[in-house]
Structure 1
Amino acid sequence: MATTAHRRRPELAAFLRSRRARVQPADVGMPPGLRRRTPGLRREEVAQLSGVGVTWYTWLEQGRPINASAQVLDAVARTLMLDPPEREHLYRLAEVPFAPIPEGLSRSVGAEVQGIIDALDPLMAVVYTSRYDVLATNTAYRDLFLVPETVRIGVPNVLWTLFTISQEACPVVHLQRELPVMVATLRSSYGRHVGEPAWEDFIRALSQASPYFARLWASGAVAQPGPRVKTFRHEAVGELRMTSQSLSIDGMPEARIVVYTPEDERTRERVALLREHRQRLWPVAEEEATEIIREWNTRNPAL
């Protein structure tokens, strides 16, 4: 541990010096001044603009073993005009847990990601945020989950749907086993968003809509996402035992592709049958599902 820290500090010093050198006084609303022997801002200017002491910032840039808080690093990052990858790099070098800026998190997926999940058909695939908001789905996923009651609920969020849908319409079997794990996974993500209005409003509203969610949330259980075998039901083909696997997406730190693969041969055959007939329990227009997701993301701009 000490050896790693010893190696990171010189890298941190070099990184800060290089970023400081590229920011001109005019970039931050300062007069150019006279007799600048080096390009970019001076150390004292970075300290002043960041609201930290000159000595402290000098020690930080010299790679001395001083502690830095996330708030101070954010202030320095703003002064040095760091982009998201550079900000994350600064955190790593300073050995401070990295938290993405909520405003910078994507609320939609590009054509490349949509193409990937479409190509996975007949496997069910969906893009979730860390709050279980649905950003994109493929046809196989919609075959199973896009039922009329889901559309009437009008909230493309898996947790909200599962806690408010009727038992008869719900495609997930063993809810009493699955929901506690999902809520515990939600709480592990919530730690990065405590106090954010969008998250606090979501937790409060779902707690009011579902006393069961409120009880699970109050338990304080925490879990990390991971592969799980889940059982679903479809009126046309019966039960499906599927293994869920999460895949990260470059540039979307709090979103993930979740793919469901058949756990046994019987499920594999039933999934193939679903694709062959492409039948839903009820005819729901693809455009209607897309519009629900679009409206939800418009109303909830931050995760």
Structure 2
Amino acid sequence: MSVNTARSLGDFLRSRRTRLDPASFGFSGRRRTPGLRREEVAVRAHISPTWYTWLEQGRGGAPSAEVLDRISGALMLTDAEREHLFMLGLGRPPEVRYKSVDGVNPRLQRLLDSLDASPAIIKTATWDVVAWNDAAAVVLTDYDELPVGQRNILQFLFRNPDVRAKQHDWENVARFVVGAFRADVARAGLVSEVGELVNALRTTSAEFDALWQDNEVLGHGEGDGVKRLLHPTLGSIELEYSAFSVDGRPDLSLIVYAPLDDEVARQIRALAAQCRRRRVTGKAPEKDMSLE
């Protein structure tokens, strides 16, 4: 760690320490300066007061990830502040801390809904779909009809014959999904958490078992970036897909499928509008002859 980086780390620690209210942590006594004392931070972080003092003074050397995590907890840092702490101390972001997700905030849902002709989903690091738009419901899967615990992309692909029948080249799609899934769960430190899902799929699908044993690792950017589907209404269609991390939530990914054909986009928009009306009114809409 360079002298300038060490000094920046010390300045950051000091600024976060002095903003904390001692009384809220059970510390009392008169103080010359605001915030916690260095010794109090060290006690909360379960590290040596001398070592912490050296870090603030820019002469402690490079701390370990474990020490930075303890200090982050002691200083009550936000996720963004914790990432900044790791960048200063180790020159890299921390490992992703996985959070269970039941849905997304209204801002993200509005973003999805604005993509009226492009199917879009938000998935977790374990490939559970937690949010989607109407275009995704009519082109990919109507996730709203499935229980929360059954909205996993790998389960769709290897257990749902309707989803499998939609894939233009199921074998290559399956290989990509398994390789990208393996990379995502390892990056998020969730290998043990997905053990039950993986074991169940290996038991029920010989194809998944063979792909899993290949140990192939793939990134979302690999391949030609085009998803080809055999849709029961739209026929053979091509969608260009892109994946994005969700700001402030590195454990979530936004995937958008943009139709390559203007006529297909028009038809998806019409189907999505029907889906939206059905959801609002609870009634099946009249058949749209424009889709013929």
* Residue 240 of structure 2 corresponds to residue 243 of structure 1: yes
Which one of 103, 106, 115 corresponds to residue 110 of structure 2? 115
Matched, 1:23 2:37: no
TM-score of the superposition, structure 2-length normalised?
0.81
- CA 229–52 in structure 1, closer or farther in 2 if over 3 Å, else same: same
Equivalent residue in structure 1 for 2:81, among 58, 79, 86: 86
Deviation at 1:241, TM superposition (A): 1.3
1:71 to 62, 66, 91: 66
Aligned pairs for 1:116-195 (under 5 A) are 116-146=111-141, 151=146, 155-166=150-161, 170-194=165-189
Structure 1 residues 65 and 50, CA gap change in structure 2 (3 angstroms): closer
| Alignment-mate amino acid for residue 44 of structure 2 | L
Which AA in structure 2 matches 1:81?
A: M
With 216-225 and 69-78 compared, the bigger mean Cα shift is at 216-225
Change (3 A) 1:169 1:179: closer
Could you list the runs of 5+ residues in structure 2 that have no partner in the other structure?
281-292
Is 2:266 aligned against 1:269? Answer: no
For residue 37 of structure 1, the aligned residue among 32, 51, 57 is: 32
Q: Distance in 2 between matches of 1:7 and 1:146?
A: 52
Could you tell me how far 1:46 is from its partner in structure 2?
1.7
Contact 1:184 1:222 in 2 (8 A): yes
With the length of structure 1 as denominator, give the TM-score of the two structures: 0.78
CA-to-aligned-CA distance 1:86-139 (integer Å, 9 cap, x gap): 111111111243123324x64411222222222211111111222221111111
Question: Would you say 1:205 and 2:200 are equivalent positions?
Answer: yes
> Cα gap change, 1:204/1:29 in structure 2, threshold over 3 Å: closer, same or farther?
farther
Q: Secondary structure at the match of 1:191?
A: helix
Provide the rounded CA distance (Å) in 2 between the counterparts of 1:13 and 1:195.
Answer: 32
What secondary structure is seen at the aligned counterpart in 2 of 1:81? coil
Q: Which amino acid aligns with 1:98?
A: P
Q: How has the CA–CA distance of structure 1 residues 17 and 275 changed in structure 2, closer, same or farther, with 3 Å as cutoff?
A: closer
**Alignment partner of 2:226: what SS?**
strand
Task: Kindly provide the CA deviation profile for residues 29-48 of structure 1, in whole angstroms up to 9, marking residues without a partner as x.
Answer: 33x145x3332222222222
* Contact 2:96–2:189, Cα closer than 8 Å, also in 1: no
Moved more, 85-94 or 168-177: 168-177
Q: Distance in 1 between the 2:273 and 2:12 partners?
A: 56
- 1:286 CA drift (Å): 4.8
Which of 227, 231, 242 does residue 234 from structure 1 map onto? Answer: 231
Q: Which amino acid counterpart does residue 225 of structure 2 have in structure 1?
A: R
Residue 249 of structure 1 contacts residue 255 of structure 1 at CA under 8 Å; is this kept in 2?
yes
**Letter paired with 1:58:** T
8 Å CA contact 2:188–2:251 kept in 1: the answer is: no
Q: Structure 1 residues 136 and 170, CA, compared in 2 at 3 Å: closer, same or farther?
A: farther
Shift in Å at residue 13 of structure 1? 0.7
- Whole-angstrom CA distance in 2 between matches of 1:86 and 1:277: 43
Output the CA distance in 2 between the equivalents of 1:152 and 1:78.
35
Seen in structure 2, the aligned counterparts of structure 1 residues 86 and 191 have a Cα distance that, compared at 3 Å, is same
Would the alpha carbon gap of residues 76 and 279 (structure 1) be closer, same or farther in structure 2, given more than 3 Å must change? closer
Matched pairs, number: 274
Distance 1:153 1:23 in 2: 39
CA RMSD of aligned residues (A): 3.0
Q: 1:168 to 1:68 in 2, by over 3 A?
A: closer
